[in-house]
Structure 1
Amino acid sequence: MRLTEQKKASLGVVSQGVKVTNFDLRRLMAEIAIDVGSMVQARQFYGDISVSQDTPRHLSGDPAILKKIVLGLVNHSLSSLDVGGVTIRVAPGGHDVEGGCVLNITVTDTSIGMLPEELDEIFIPSRQHGDYVDQREKKSELFYVRELARLLDGNLSVHSAFGWGTRYSLSVAMHGAAMHVSNWD
């Protein structure tokens, strides 16, 4: 089973391209916090978001795609939980070769984690038929989230150990951010 067209559109997997604009990271994270709050409250989990003080506030990039990536990862994490919740951390990762800020975003969950063989297949969209439709759709969702990260020239990786939860790590350069940096105050 493939993701429905509606699901693809909600993840932004339509040929729309990247729209680079200046944006306020504080405002974007507040929007994400509202959405995450609704998601975790509906499922009776917790959600925690923090942004490192030394993270630039004003950046240049595509905030809509960045938001879709983070919410896609949170949604995937929540679908794997029985108890607990998710934590989102945002921190700078230095500067890219063009002088822009590299933004590191991690989404960590309290799930049971994954076995090594599951990690090998986490970003492969499943096209086979079988009894595990939900598992295939979850894999496909992560495939499309990673494709969104690639649209931003970002890197999305996953770290997990069975019994210890899962951490998704996104590193993405915010183009021209060095010219638009200001403090959080």
Structure 2
Amino acid sequence: MLADEKRLRQVLLNVLGNAVKFTDRGRVRFGVQALAHDRVAVRLRFEVEDTGVGMTPEQLAKLFQPFERVGDVRRRAGTGLGLMISRQLVHLMGSEIHVQSRPGEGSRFWFEVTLPVTELAASLQPSERDAIGYEGPRRKVLIADDVVGNRAVLSDLLSGLGFEICEATNGQEAVEQEMAASPDLAVMDLVMPVMGGLEAMQCICRNRQARGLARLPFIVVSASANEEDHAWSIAAGADAFLTEPIDQESLLRIIGARLGLTWLYARPAEKQAGDGEGTELVVPPREQMEVLHTLALKGNMRDIRKRAAYLTTLDERYRPFADRLDRLAQSCQSKAIRSLVEERLQGGEPEARLGLSPRRIGGDQRS
């Protein structure tokens, strides 16, 4: 299924939080039910029911009004905007929040949404052409996203191409990181806690103007393909709007255009050497292979790519091996990397080809 995860989470957390706040005894029940589904879509009902204090008809009438806080005065907190915003978010999903409640008996909130069925996609779509870097001085990119996995995917890609990366987990951190690090470009998630992406962009623009700095290019990223989000982002100053999963080629094309970069691509001969199964690989010395083995066990793709680049500086004969290693790391094929390294460590051939005394790898080296 394809859904706007952050908006859906925001609505559910708000409704669940209210249910817990107004329930001293009994239970709070959360349920999801598939009402209908076929090969292209599924209709789900989300429901939160509690045995709390409940509400009167008069309170229900004011429930979704801004700055209205209904219920026991001792439990009221905040501005009362939460349910109003949740209702608006559900409207954007093409639905409506329904409520049933009776004083002293509890409340029941529910809404239904129809979601398209899709195959699970990788968080980053690969590019047909493999950029390996860019010409000129090193540039710095700010990545702002509250989801650690999303930041890691972008950070691995861009740092592997030579960018310096600074990260933020919310909009406020993004504003602070821009002040501290002065990045050349920012990739900004739309929905984040503390401060959203659009508000963070506006704060950064004001701050840079006050400091006499040029405008910072922004790429807004969102799980939503909503045209309204796209329009809001461009109106707020975004240079581009990309939906997840991010297309790598589009991302690099936008970054290159905004920063005036000339991309460097792998030469066809290097690509063939890196991908060809029949190519004889000259393997680096044992100490280098043992470092690679440690990194392979940890699954650290970023450091494996850095180590592969380092190997080519030791001896040009290692380039086919390093190219294959780099491509496996780029596509996060940790098992294939581990097999490649362990086969060479245990085979005894690298030392013979390099003129080193052969040593047998003991059983304690295997894992």
Name the residue aligned to 1:143.
84
Using the TM superposition, give the Cα deviation of residue 141 of structure 1 relative to its aligned residue in structure 2, in angstroms.
1.2
SS at match of 1:137: coil
Higher relative contact order (CA 8 A, sep 6+): 1
Can you give the 5+ residue segments of structure 1 that lack an aligned partner in the other structure? 1-58
Name the residue aligned to 2:96.
155
Quick one: distance in 2 between partners of 1:119 and 1:149?
18
Name the residue aligned to 2:112.
171
Bigger CA radius of gyration: 2
Using the TM superposition, give the Cα deviation of residue 100 of structure 1 relative to its aligned residue in structure 2, in angstroms.
1.9
Q: How many residues align?
A: 117
Distance 1:133 1:126, change over 3 A: farther
Name the residue aligned to 2:14.
72
Percent of aligned pairs sharing the same letter: 26
Quick one: distance in 2 between partners of 1:133 and 1:146?
24
| Contact 2:34-2:43 within 8 A present in 1 as well | yes
Q: Which amino acid aligns with 1:162?
A: P
| Contact 1:76-1:142 within 8 A present in 2 as well | no
Can you give the 5+ residue segments of structure 2 that lack an aligned partner in the other structure? 121-367
| Contact 2:68-2:79 within 8 A present in 1 as well | no
Name the residue aligned to 1:94.
36
TM-score, normalising length: structure 2: 0.29
Quick one: distance in 1 between partners of 2:60 and 2:23?
17
Using the TM superposition, give the Cα deviation of residue 173 of structure 1 relative to its aligned residue in structure 2, in angstroms.
1.3
Name the residue aligned to 1:52.
none
Structure ranking higher in strand proportion: 1
Using the TM superposition, give the Cα deviation of residue 60 of structure 1 relative to its aligned residue in structure 2, in angstroms.
1.0
SS at match of 1:145: helix
TM-score, normalising length: structure 1: 0.55
**Do structure 1's residue 125 and structure 2's residue 66 form an aligned pair?**
yes
Quick one: distance in 1 between partners of 2:47 and 2:79?
18
Quick one: distance in 2 between partners of 1:111 and 1:134?
12
Structure ranking higher in helix proportion: 2
| Contact 1:109-1:167 within 8 A present in 2 as well | yes
| Contact 1:125-1:136 within 8 A present in 2 as well | no
| Contact 2:41-2:114 within 8 A present in 1 as well | yes
